[in-house]
Chains A and B, each alone.
Chain A
C-alpha cells in the first residue's frame, strides 16, 4: 500500500467515525463569537463537536442572530498536523477548503517548501477542490479509496485535479438572515431584493464559490428542487453514494430529502452527516447540502 497521509480541514464535514475508518486527518480552523452576555468565545472549529458547544447549541445560537467569525488554519496548526505525518515518513496529500471560501490553501501552499526542506525526501501535495463540506469530504474519501487500491500520491492527486469539478453540490438554507449577515454567497443584486419565503439554491460553482443559481418559494419546493437537480446532474447514481450535510434541520425535512433522493434519483446509498461549523456558520441553521459525483460544473457565478 502506498504510504501517504490524507488530510482535510474543518470544512470537510467528515465525522470522527468516517475519519477513523478511512484514516483521514484534518487541520482545524477556529470560530469566535460574542455571546448575548457579552462574553467573547473562541474555539477550535472541531468536527467532533466535543469542545464546549454542541452542534445543536451552535446552530441555535446562529438562529438567534449571533454572528460568528471564522479564521483560517494557522501556520502552527499546519506545522502540527502535517508535521506528525511527515515525521513518520509519510507524504502528505492535503485536500483543502475551496480557495474561493478560505485563504487556508494559500498559506499551506506557501508552507510546502518549508516542509520539504524540513523533512527531506517528503512530498506535500495540495489539491484545491473548489468545493467544501461533503464535496471536499467525498474527495477525501475517494483519495483513501485510491490509496487502498495502491495508487501513488501523485496519481491520486492527478485524478482528483482532473475530476474535481465533477463533485456537485446543491444546497439550500432555511432562513436567509445568517447568509445575508455573512455575505459569503455570490448572487446578483436583484436576487436578494426581497426574501420573504424565498429559498436560494446554492451550488459550488466552477471557481469554488457558493453561488445562488436560482430561487424557490418555500422550503418543500426547495428540497424537492434539490432532488430534481440531482436527478439531472448525477452520473451513474445506482452505483454511487450521495451525501447529505445538514445543520440542525427539522428531521422531517431531512427524511423527505433522503427518501426522494433514494426513490427519485435512485442513489445506491444516501448518508447524512452533520454540517461543520465553518460553512454552516455562514449559512445558518436549517442549511442542507446534497453532494454527489456528476456532470462537470461549468457555471461561474456573477
Chain B
C-alpha cells in the first residue's frame, strides 16, 4: 500500500508491526551486550515499552490520529523499562504530541512530529550520549527531513528514515569507544531499527494482528487473570477494604480551563473528607486524567470528577475479591499492613538473600528486578502506591533502571519521591547500613545516602559467555571476569584469584576499611570458607563481611569503602 496520509488506524498498525518485528528479533538485540555477560535485556525492555503503548490503543477503532496518539504515548510512558525503553517512550511521546491535534498526517507532518520526538528524547536525558538510540533516531529524522517535500508519501518517509537509521546504527561502533572495543553496535539503536523495519513491512503489505503480544505475555505476565472468586464477599460481609476505583477522564473545555488545569484539584478532592481516598495516584497529560483510588464510596468519586470532564473508561472492583491471585494478594496485604510513615525506602533487588537483608535494614518496598529484568515505570508506581509515606526514597541499583524510576517519580503525585542514583546492589547495601531518619530532614537523609554511595566502590565477579577483549583485557569464554565500578578489569580461570585481583585494583586499597561481599546462589559453604581465608590472608586490614546474596549470574558482588 502506498499512502500519502497517515490516519489513526494506520499509525496504530505501523506501531504494532514495528513492535512485532522487534519481538521477532528480541534475542539478537538482547545479545548486543558490551560485557560478555548473559544479562543483556535492551530488546526485552523496548518490547515491554512499545507493547505498553499498543495495549492502551488496542480497543480504539477511531480513524483519528488525535484519538490514538495520546493513549499510545501514555501507555508507553507507563510501560517504559530500562534506559532504551524510557528513551523510546519519550521519542513516541514527542511524535504523538506532534500528531495528536490532527485527524490525518502527511509526510511533512510526520517530519515535524519526528522532530518533536528528537527534542523530547534529548530533553528527557540528563546527559545525552551519542552513539546510542538517540543518535540513530536523530540522524534518521534529520536525513528524512531533508528528503521529504509536499509530494512525498508516508512510504517515502519511512524509506528514508530506515535507510539513514541503519547507516547511523552501523556507525555507533565508531562513536562509543566501549562499543568499538567490544565489537558490537548499540543495542537500543538496533532495537529502534527493527521497529522501523517492522513499520515498513506493514507499508509493504504485511498483515498485522495483535496476537503476538498475547502470546508473549502469556508466558511471563503476572497479570494473567484468574476467575474471580465471588464467594470472598458474602451476604453478611462488611465492606472493609472498599473499592479499587480506576478511571480515565477526558477533561472538557466546557467544564474546566484545560491548559491551566492542576491535577492537585483532583487529588485534594480524593483526599478530602467526603471521599477519604487511599492509595491515590492521579496523573494528567493534557486533557487526559488517569486516576487510581481506593474508596468505600466510588459513586461520590464519579460525581465529583464529572465536574472536570467525562469518563473514557471506568473500572470499579470490590477489593475483598481476589481478581487476580498475585496482584490481589499483594494489594490486599499492602492494604492491611499499610502504616503511615514520614519516610519510606523503595529498592530494586533480586536474589532472596539480598531482598531479605534489605527488608531487615528497613526497606519498605522491594521491586523485583535487576540487570536482566528492568522494572517498568508502572512497577515503580505500584510500589509507591503500596506505601503510605510522605517521602519516598528510591534506590534503582542499576544504571538502566534509574530513568524509569525518575519517570515514575515525576508521574506519581501521591508522595514526594527522591531517586538516589545508586547503580549497584552493593552501593545500596552500604547506604542502607547508614539509614538514619533521626535528623527528620529529608535533605540530610538523602545527602547521607548520596555520600555513602559516593564513597563505595562496587565490584562484580561473573563468567564470560564469549571470547573477547575489553579494556585490553583478553577474555576466554568461561573465564571469571571482574568488573569494578562498571569497568571490566580482570579475567582469570580461578574465581577467587579473579576476586583477589579485582579487590587489589581498587584505588587506594590500603586506606579502605570495610568490605562486604554478597555471595551468589551457587556459592557453596566450602567456597565461602576459602573466601574468608583468602580475605584474611590478602587483605588483613579490611573488616570483611561475607553475606548470602542469593543472586543469579554474579558469583560475587562486593562493596568496599
Interface residues of A (CB under 8 A from B): 188, 190-191, 193-198, 214-215, 217-221, 302
Contacts and interface: CB of A to CB of B under 8 A. Distances in A.
A196 B544 CA distance: 9
A219 B455 CA distance: 14
B111 interface: no
Contact of B430 (A195, A217, A220): A217
B501 interface: no
A194 B436 contact: no
21 contacts: A188-B437, A190-B435, A190-B436, A191-B438, A193-B360, A193-B361, A193-B362, A194-B360, A196-B514, A196-B516, A197-B433, A197-B513, A197-B514, A198-B433, A214-B436, A215-B436, A217-B433, A217-B434, A217-B514, A220-B511, A221-B513
A196 B433 contact: yes
Contact of A194 (B357, B437, B514): B357
A219 B433 contact: no
Nearest to B513: A218
Given A217-B430, A220-B513, A194 B361 contact: yes
B507 to A, nearest CB: 16
Interface of B: 357, 360-362, 430, 432-438, 452, 455, 511, 513-514, 516, 543, 545, 561
**Residue with the greatest number of chain B CB neighbours at <10 A, chosen from A194, A218, A221, A302:** A194
Contact of B436 (A191, A218, A219): A191
Contacts of A188: 436-438
Nearest to B438: A188
A173 to B, nearest CB: 13
A218 B432 contact: no
Contacts of B360: 193-194
B34 to A, nearest CB: 31
A194 B436 CA distance: 11
Given A197-B513, A221-B513, 11 more contacts: A188-B437, A191-B436, A191-B438, A197-B543, A197-B545, A197-B561, A198-B434, A217-B455, A217-B513, A218-B543, A220-B511
Nearest to B358: A194
Contacts of B437: 188, 190
Contacts of A190: 362, 435-437
A215 B449 CA distance: 12
A206 to B, nearest CB: 16
A218 B433 CA distance: 11
A217 B515 CA distance: 11
Contact of A196 (B436, B511, B545): B545
A107 to B, nearest CB: 34
A196 B429 CA distance: 10
A302 B440 CA distance: 13
Contacts of B543: 196-197, 218-219
B561 A218 contact: yes
Contacts of A220: 511, 513
Contact of B435 (A193, A218, A219, A221): A193
A198 B516 CA distance: 12
A194 B433 contact: yes
A192 to B, nearest CB: 11
A197 B559 CA distance: 11
Contacts of A214: 436, 438
B432 A194 contact: yes
Contacts of B561: 197, 217-218
B435 to A, nearest CB: 6
A191 B361 CA distance: 9
Contacts of B362: 190, 193
Nearest to B542: A197
Nearest 4 pairs between A and B by C-beta? A197-B514, A218-B513, A196-B545, A194-B433
Contacts of B434: 198, 215, 217
A219 B435 CA distance: 18
Contact of A217 (B452, B511, B545): B452
Contacts of A197: 433, 513-514, 516, 543, 545, 561
A294 B448 CA distance: 27
**Residue with the greatest number of chain B CB neighbours at <10 A, chosen from A195, A217, A220:** A217
A240 B433 CA distance: 37
Contacts of A218: 513-514, 543, 561
Nearest to B435: A190
A161 B511 CA distance: 44
A211 to B, nearest CB: 10
A105 B432 CA distance: 40
A151 to B, nearest CB: 40
**Residue with the greatest number of chain A CB neighbours at <10 A, chosen from B430, B436, B452:** B436
**Residue with the greatest number of chain A CB neighbours at <10 A, chosen from B357, B361, B433, B545:** B433
A221 B432 CA distance: 17
B433 A195 contact: yes
